[in-house]
Amino acid sequence: MANQDASMYPKVEINEAEAVAKAFSDKSGKMVDYPFKFPEMKPYEVRIRILFTGLCHSDASLGKSEWGNENYPLVAGHEIVGVVEKIGNNVSKFQVGERIAAGPIRFYCENCENCKKGDNQLCMGKLEPEAMRIFQGHFGGFATHVQVPDKACFKVPESLPTEAVAPLMCAGITVFAPLKRFVKPGDAVGIIGTGGLGHLAVQYAKAMGCTVTAFTSKVAEKKDELMKLGADQVCSSVDLEELKKLEGTQNYVMNCLTVKNDKQFMSYVSLCKRGGGVLQVGAPASGQLPHLDLLKLANDQISIYGSQVGSSQDTIDMLEFSAKHKILPKIEVFQWNDWQTAFDKCSQSKAKFRCVIDCCTFPHKFREEQQQGLKQQQHQQQQQQQ
């Protein structure tokens, strides 16, 4: 749950605003412009002028209160790439004007057991008044700007095109981290679902030296494209007879779907070899969980692993790996005025792969004034360094 407190971000007239968000006003999923001011910047925070922001199905789940009742207005968004516009007094690793990216993790304690072993995405510390998720208690990236702790931000390799970076910060790290954690060269890896998550998983698994089988409900439509992305074969994810023929063939199966049907889910589990594992990255709505055949799991020693995004180091590795192997998401870019169209396409699972908003298309002189202010800050920073 996001549990945002909109009073932290008071709504103001557009000519007084420091940023404008696309906010959910209720669980209907309808979005409205929300001009606002930020709370006072903390010494460790960075304000990002967002260039592109990605849409994730989890944003739809939040906006529609599918994971529990939310507070409204709610500003989601956790796939962010932009330019540093302002930094707190204690920030040293980023400079005004630098291109950076931010993903789902906003904050972590650095002192708990999980943080100390490098799994800060599993932080167990007390973070109040901060929050672990970028949209938890705070406005997220569905906006012209976002203000986050510097530890939530990452430098972007020069070779990655800006518009493609945003989806990597959630979809990319969500599939990269468990693949990095479990698979090895030569493994047979099945990817269930080849949309926003799965088409990236196919690319990463192939680049890691695996034999990749992509499973999709749209074989005729997607086969050629998935083969170009690296799949060694493309099979149906809904034909139970075809799935049965492939039982016991995969070292690991990554399930990118939110499957409710018991037989369907167990048919994916049965693809695993004995001693294999299911990597579950699809996040269903609350209560929509299939039943498991525990006897099958025990007899074949099949494990099911959950995974949520990745650590800071995983994210750095993902960005560098993506740049090295030229792994990019397939995206459809929308302008600011097309937010609702993009969101509806995402929430209804009609996006072929990934939807991205070009936040530079915000239709107001407000954006021009912000850009002029950024240039002035850059010039002042350069003078101070001389």
For residue 152, give the nearest of 141, 142, 162 by alpha carbon: 141
What tens digit of pLDDT does each residue of 345-355 get? 988 878 889 99
Instruction: Mention every residue, 6+ apart, whose C-beta is less than 8 A from residue 20.
Output: 14, 33, 34, 35, 36, 143, 144, 362, 364, 366
SS (H, E, C) 231-266: CCEEEECCCHHHHHHCCCCEEEEEECCCCCCHHHHH
Whole-number Å distance between alpha carbons of 179 and 251: 12
DSSP-based three-state secondary structure for 318: helix
Q: What is the largest CA-CA distance in the chain?
A: 70
Q: What is the pLDDT of residue 173?
A: 97
Question: Per-residue pLDDT for 1 more than 60?
Answer: no
**Selected residue with higher pLDDT from 249 and 385:** 249
**Between 373 and 73, the higher pLDDT residue:** 73
* Cα dihedral value 46, 49, 55, 60, nearest 10: 70
**For residue 138, is pLDDT > 80?**
yes
Residue 386: pLDDT band with limits 50, 70, 90: low
- Residue, of 378 and 297, whose pLDDT is higher: 297
What does DSSP assign to residue 336?
G
Instruction: Answer yes or no: is pLDDT of 160 > 70.
Output: yes
State yes or no: pLDDT of 60 exceeds 90.
no
Q: Residue written as tokens 């499957």?
A: 259
pLDDT at 181 over 90: yes
Question: What's the pLDDT score for residue 283?
Answer: 78
Q: Which residue has the tokens 């196919």?
A: 202
Per-residue pLDDT, 10: 92
**Per residue in 257-302, pLDDT tens?**
988 788 999 999 999 999 999 999 987 766 667 788 999 999 999 9
- CA gyration radius for the chain? 21
Spatial distance between the Cα atoms of 230 and 232, rounded to a whole number of angstroms: 6
Rounded to an integer, what distance in angstroms lies between the CA atom of residue 267 and that of residue 238? Answer: 9
In angstroms, the CA 180 to CA 317 distance is 9
Percent of the chain with pLDDT over 70: 91
pLDDT digits (tens, 9 = 90+) for 225-237: 999 999 999 999 9
* Burial classification of residue 249, based on how many CB atoms lie within 10 Å of its CB (0-12 exposed, 13-18 middle, 19 or more buried): middle
Q: Which of 31-35, 58-62, 81-85, 104-108 has the least mean pLDDT?
A: 58-62
- Characterise 98 by phi-psi region: left (phi > 0), alpha (psi -120 to 50), beta (else): beta
Question: What pLDDT sits at residue 371?
Answer: 56
Q: Across the chain, what does the average pLDDT equal?
A: 90
Look at the block and give the residue holding tokens 């299911």.
278
What's the pLDDT tens digit per position in 7-54? Answer: 889 999 988 999 999 999 888 888 999 999 999 999 999 999 999 999
Q: Who's near 379: CB < 8 A, 6+ residues apart? A: none
At 133, is the pLDDT very low, low, confident or very high (cuts 50, 70, 90)?
A: confident
Strands 188-192 and 211-216, how do they pair?
parallel
Lowest-confidence range among 21-25, 55-59, 152-156, 170-174?
55-59
Nearest-10 Cα torsion for 75, 69, 280, 225: -50
Q: Which pLDDT score is estimated for 89? A: 95
Q: How far apart are CA 17 and CA 36, in angstroms?
A: 5
> Of residues 113 and 73, which shows the higher confidence score?
113
pLDDT band at 379 (very low <50, low <70, confident <90, very high): low
Query: What is the H or E stretch that residue 369 is in?
Result: helix 365-385
What's the burial of 305, exposed, middle or buried (CB within 10 Å: 0-12/13-18/19+)? middle
Whether pLDDT at 170 is above 60: yes
Q: Select from 29, 33, 23 the least CA-distant residue to 364.
A: 33
How does pLDDT run across 317-333, given as a tens digit for each residue? Answer: 999 999 999 999 999 99
Rounded to whole angstroms, the Cα distance separating 334 from 59 reads 16
Question: Is pLDDT at 175 greater than 60 in this prediction?
Answer: yes
Element (H or E) spanning 376, and its range? helix 365-385
Strand pairing of 45-55 and 145-149?
antiparallel
pLDDT number for residue 59: 83
CA distances for 158 relative to 99, 278, 326, angstroms: 9, 34, 12
